[in-house]
Amino acid sequence: MPDASFPYTPRMGIEAALPVEGFMTTQLQRVINWARRSSLWPMPFATACCGIELMATASSRYDLARFGMERMSFSPRQADLLIVAGRVAVKMLPVLQRIYQQMAEPKWVISMGACASTGGVFDNYAVVQGCDQFIPVDVYVPGCPPRPEQLLEGIMAIQRMIDEDRIPPKGPDGRRVPANIVLAPTHRPTAQPVALGLR
Ligand code: SF4
């Protein structure tokens, strides 16, 4: 129980980390970057099975909310992180481009999975062979599908970019220059935990 003769003020979160005086000095740009990296608002463009892993990333086990992004936005004007998860059909491409154009600046793009990055196994006339041919992609997350951990790694790569103040600049033609970060696959298949009984 707190001492009644002493005003009890619980200190939590950033307050607990601050000195007793309650103030700290820093640079405005650092605060802006901290706020920006802690409140990325994803715009899910999930068209196929990778979308299920994207949903799993937002679920309780992987808890995307830890990164300040529990608010999946289905309105591009209130989003700044486009996650392309799944194959992009040629018919859907204008929709994807329109969504990208409508998103708030500064904005980032993650290409999640083999289909979004390369067309995957769907090497045919109906599927775009890599969304980076039409929108700037900052982080490529490999896999078919990538696990939620890999998507989180991709999101953290974006956060590191923001921390370092590396907002992608515009090129000489005025078009956005993509960051082109490629994550290394980290998944190592392990042995089955139970005997399969096949003899
Ligand atoms: S990369 Fe694999 S899991 Fe993802 S959309 Fe393509 S086929 Fe589905």
Summarised one tens digit per residue, pLDDT across range 97-116 is 999 999 998 999 999 999 99
Structure tokens at 71: 């608010």
Residue range 120-141: mean pLDDT, rounded: 95
Give the sign of the dihedral formed by CA 59, CA 63, CA 69, CA 70: positive
Task: Measure the CA–CA gap between 136 and 115, rounded to whole angstroms.
Answer: 16
- pLDDT tens, residue by residue, 1-48: 455 555 666 667 767 777 666 677 788 898 899 999 999 999 999 999
Substitution candidate for ligand 1 out of 47, 50, 140 with most atoms within 8 A of CB: 50
Instruction: Please report where in the chains the tokens 């491409």 appear, as a residue.
Output: 93
* C-alpha closest to that of 138 among 164, 166, 163: 166
Site of tokens 């000489």: 172
Predicted confidence at residue 196, as pLDDT, reads 58
Per-residue model confidence (pLDDT) at position 3: 53
Number of other residues whose CB lies within 10 A of the CB of residue 150: 22
- What is the DSSP-derived secondary structure letter of residue 67? G
d(CA 181, CA 138): 6
Minimum CA distance residue for ligand 1 atom 5? 86
- The domain ranges of the chain are 26-182
The pLDDT assigned to 172 comes to 85
Q: What is the pLDDT of residue 166?
A: 82
Residue with the nearest Cα to atom 2 of ligand 1?
Answer: 144
Tell me if 183 sits within 8 A of 89, measured CB to CB: no
pTM for this entry? 0.84
Which fold is adopted by the domain 26-182? Rossmann fold (3.40.50)
DSSP for residue 89: B
User: Atom 3 of ligand 1 has which residue's CA nearest to it?
Assistant: 145
Question: Which one, of 153, 129, 158, lies nearest residue 142 by Cα?
Answer: 153
Q: Which has the closest alpha carbon to 112: 64, 65, 75? A: 64
What value does the mean pLDDT of the chain take?
A: 86
User: At 145, which amino acid appears?
Assistant: P
**Residue linked to tokens 């982080």:** 139
As a whole number, mean pLDDT of residues 57-72 equals 86
CB 169, CB 159: distance < 8 Å:
no
Label residue 87 by pLDDT band (50, 70, 90). Answer: very high
Kindly give the distance from the C-alpha atom of residue 151 to the centroid of ligand 1, in angstroms, as a whole number: 13
Instruction: Give yes or no for residue 113 CB within 6 A of ligand 1.
Output: yes
